[in-house]
Chains A and B, each alone.
Chain A
Amino acid sequence: MKILVPVKRVIDYNVKVRVKADGTGVDLANVKMSMNPFDEIAVEEAMRLKEAGKATEVVAISCGVTACQETLRTAMAIGADRSVLVETDVELQPLAVAKLLAAVAKKEAPQLIILGKQAIDDDANQTGQMLAALLGWSQATFASKVVIGDGKASVTREVDGGLETIEITLPAIVTTDLRLNEPRYATLPNIMKAKKKPLEVVKPADLGVDVAPRLATVSVAEPPKRSAGIKVADVAALVDKLKNEAKVIA
């Protein structure tokens, strides 16, 4: 079984986000970029399935600027066998990414596509579901456990009320939640090895996909600031404030 793992290059999760003064977006100049943390979990899950003998090949794929090659090298350092970059400078929105991934998936014919449930930059939480729709496949989003069976998979999902387990028909899409696994660190020998693994570059036009954005960003602003309040001396003072100043308890 082949597994496809889409990965996104995003601002590193430790970086403090700053809105640009002209309100056109977030300042990404000279900012550390990394693989989307949810996608790291996806790569790790694919590797565990390969190590368990459930998968034979893991192919990483990324869509975006040339620098996404670094993200693909990271995926290959974790263990992906090879990778594909769909290279473009156009701002890619989830629908465009899903179309590019669907085009690659039709060529690669994987049985499973595992990707993060959301990217920590646009927080859209759309690409996996859209990809499933475009391919006409089943989907298991927000996964915290994946068990591969014969032509089926059983996936435990984190939902509002707790957990639910569904059975999906392969081929299928799985999107990862935080508690699916803890990704390994790439070792130095594996980082070196990853540099020699195959990385194919294609363009959206080669795949026949129109990637024009559908949403225009009018402006990006700082959220309303919440100022720090006061420190109270003890429990009695806290209760007094809640009752008489904030009036949130009777």
Chain B
Amino acid sequence: MSLLVIAEHDNASLKTATLNAITAAVKIGGEIHVLVAGSGCGAVAEQAAKVAGVAKVRVADAAHFGDQTAENLAALIVANAAGYSHILAPATSNGKNTLPRVAALLDVAQISEISAVVDADTFVRPIYAGNAMATVKSADATKVITVRTTGFDAAAATGGSAVVEALAAGADLGLSRLIGRELTKSARPELGAAKIIVSGGRGMGSGENYHKVLEPLADKLGAAMGASRAAVDAGFVPNDYQVGQTGKIVAPQLYIAIGISGAIQHLAGMKDSKVIVAINKDADAPIFQVADYGLVADLFTAVPELVAAL
């Protein structure tokens, strides 16, 4: 049995989410291959070859894979799907964009955002914003799966020595093309990979307050910064800060929710964090029902005090 894991990368480096997906593949069992599709992505292939547990890295290097457009990527995966019992990708925006397309072309179901592996055909996945956990069994010959990264530890990035082979790239379908990207530039850790997250909600009052109050705390803790949907909708911060059912799913060692009431859609994105701290002036806020340590206080005095005390 062989499994194919689709690498998440930016043509320069392999993203950690790939390592979580590789661990899910290890739990299923079998020979693990990693597909690196990109443009000038040789360095990514080298990194993938060093990941513990990977037997082979297959590289499709062509201009039309550089932007990870779903149409070209799905066609490539399908053209190389023969022989694989499972095709997995991390449930990142790329993985979620591409894999259902692969599944439909193979005429199989996709199993979205698995959080645990029961056996090679059976998986656990959250439904209803994580308010229920479904165990599902697939009857399809090929299992196409996206992996919730918080459900699986990252595989060791070193220790492996996989074979690297080049794949024929296939034609550019020409169905879509990238015009531009506005990516948030930050020296902080990525939300998905951070050990500590400082997150702000509507209680911040403004984008200016969000940055003025929370950045010193994040700096002190070496933390990533997140936000609730309310804070993103209000324009305090860009969409990529959003933690929740439809935003990012995170499970850091420490999640500090500041001025966040704790709507169920937000809790869906962070309730697997190891330790949750809530700072909110409303003692009845639902966030306190999941927080290990709650502090009922005005965030504008408590957070600077916290920064000073650390």
Residues of A whose CB lies within 8 Å of any CB of B are: 11, 16-17, 19, 26, 93-95, 98, 117-118, 120-134, 137-142, 144, 154, 157-169, 177-179, 214-223, 226, 228-232, 234-236, 238-239, 241-242, 246, 248-249
Q: For residues 18 through 33 of chain B, which have their beta carbon under 8 Å from a beta carbon of chain A?
A: none
Main secondary structure of the interface of B (DSSP, over half): mixed
Query: Is there an interface contact between A162 and B183, defined as CB atoms closer than 8 Å?
Result: yes
The answer to the question of B294 belonging to the interface, with a C-beta cut-off of 8 Å to chain A, is yes
A217→B128 CA distance, assembly (Å): 15
A124→B126 CA distance, assembly (Å): 10
A132→B74 CA distance, assembly (Å): 11
Q: Residues of B contacting A142 with CB < 8 Å?
A: 93, 97
Distance (Å) between the CB of B231 and the closest chain A CB? 13
Distance (Å) between the CB of B308 and the closest chain A CB? 8
Distance (Å) between the CB of B30 and the closest chain A CB? 20
Annotate B116-155 by CB proximity to A: 1 below 8 A, 0 otherwise. Answer: 0000001000111111111111111000000000000000
Query: Is there an interface contact between A162 and B181, defined as CB atoms closer than 8 Å?
Result: yes
Q: Residues of A contacting B309 with CB < 8 Å?
A: 235-236, 239
A126→B102 CA distance, assembly (Å): 10
Q: Known A-B contacts: A125-B112, A161-B184, A230-B292. Give 4 more (CB < 8 A).
A: A19-B131, A98-B104, A123-B127, A133-B101
Q: Which residue of B lies closest to A168 (CB)?
A: B176
Q: Residues of B contacting A161 with CB < 8 Å?
A: 181, 183-184, 240
Q: For residues 240 through 281 of chain B, which have their beta carbon under 8 Å from a beta carbon of chain A?
A: 240, 245-246, 248, 253-254, 271, 274-277
Q: For residues 273 through 302 of chain B, which have their beta carbon under 8 Å from a beta carbon of chain A?
A: 274-277, 283, 288-297, 302
Distance (Å) between the CB of B279 and the closest chain A CB? 8
Known interface pairs A159-B93, A162-B181, A164-B178. Does A134 touch B104 (Cβ–Cβ under 8 Å)? yes
Annotate B206-223 by CB proximity to A: 1 below 8 A, 0 otherwise. Answer: 000000000000000100
Q: Residues of B contacting A128 with CB < 8 Å?
A: 100
Known interface pairs A218-B135, A219-B135. Does A249 touch B254 (Cβ–Cβ under 8 Å)? yes
A232→B279 CA distance, assembly (Å): 10
A123→B244 CA distance, assembly (Å): 12
Q: Which residue of B lies closest to A160 (CB)?
A: B93
Q: Residues of A contacting B46 with CB < 8 Å?
A: none
User: Which of B136, B253, B291 lies at the interface centre, i.e. has the most chain A CB atoms within 10 A of its CB?
Assistant: B136
A33→B196 CA distance, assembly (Å): 38
Main secondary structure of the interface of A (DSSP, over half): mixed
Query: Is there an interface contact between B126 and A166, defined as CB atoms closer than 8 Å?
Result: no
Distance (Å) between the CB of A183 and the closest chain B CB? 14
A243→B289 CA distance, assembly (Å): 22
A17→B245 CA distance, assembly (Å): 14
Query: Is there an interface contact between A121 and B291, defined as CB atoms closer than 8 Å?
Result: no
Distance (Å) between the CB of A6 and the closest chain B CB? 14
Q: Which 9 A-B pairs have the closest CB atoms?
A: A229-B292, A129-B100, A138-B175, A130-B104, A214-B109, A133-B104, A126-B100, A161-B183, A17-B131
Query: Is there an interface contact between A123 and B109, defined as CB atoms closer than 8 Å?
Result: no
Q: Residues of A contacting B74 with CB < 8 Å?
A: 133
Query: Is there an interface contact between A123 and B245, defined as CB atoms closer than 8 Å?
Result: yes
The answer to the question of B161 belonging to the interface, with a C-beta cut-off of 8 Å to chain A, is no
The answer to the question of B92 belonging to the interface, with a C-beta cut-off of 8 Å to chain A, is yes
Query: Is there an interface contact between A166 and B138, defined as CB atoms closer than 8 Å?
Result: no
A221→B125 CA distance, assembly (Å): 10
Known interface pairs A217-B134, A221-B135. Does A238 touch B176 (Cβ–Cβ under 8 Å)? no
Query: Which single member of B92, B135, B275 contacts A246 (CB below 8 Å)?
Result: B275
A243→B182 CA distance, assembly (Å): 38
Query: Which single member of A130, A220, A235, A242 contacts B305 (CB below 8 Å)?
Result: A235
Q: Residues of B contacting A141 with CB < 8 Å?
A: 70, 96-97
Q: Residues of B contacting A234 with CB < 8 Å?
A: 295, 297
Q: Residues of B contacting A93 with CB < 8 Å?
A: 109
Distance (Å) between the CB of A13 and the closest chain B CB? 8
Query: Is there an interface contact between A118 and B131, defined as CB atoms closer than 8 Å?
Result: no
Distance (Å) between the CB of A168 and the closest chain B CB? 5
